Amino acid sequence: MTSMAQRIRETVQEHPDWTPKQVAEACGATRNRVYQVMHYVKKSGERKILKLKRKMAMLKPVQAQVVNANPSVTANDRQVGGTHYKDKAIQPWDYIVANKLGYLEGTIIGYVSRWQDKGGIEDLRKARHCLDKLIEVNL
């Protein structure tokens, strides 16, 4: 025979989206007892797992959206959010991939490539910020 605390824990794990009142009714316990058990669970570290399960239970499944239904249209043929890269003779991501650059180098290339067409001086500041980080991590 399982204890009331164990039944409460199991019920919460099986139904992470339930309120303490619903758990209490399902287990035949008082809400106070549910709160006491949950307080103990919080102290013991199980609480993070229960919170994660609760959040996952609330998430609704998302249908994958087909972005490129026409395989003859490449990612270079379209751009989301403007034309600041599409109008370049060589798109920054093609240069980045061809030269096997890392994240920071690629970000710098992107900001420097688009600064006149999109963000202005702010993009140059962002590029400098990334460059500072690149120098910092390579010292």
Q: What is the pLDDT of residue 116?
A: 87
**pTM greater than the 0.75 cutoff:** no
Q: What is the C-alpha to C-alpha distance for residues 132 and 139, in angstroms, rounded to an integer?
A: 11
Q: What is the C-alpha to C-alpha distance for residues 76 and 104, in angstroms, rounded to an integer?
A: 21
Q: Return the structure tokens found at 54.
A: 């609760």
In tens digits, the chain (139 residues) has pLDDT values of 678 888 888 888 788 778 888 889 998 988 888 888 877 666 666 666 666 666 666 666 666 666 656 667 777 777 777 777 777 778 888 888 999 989 999 999 999 988 888 889 999 999 999 999 999 988 8
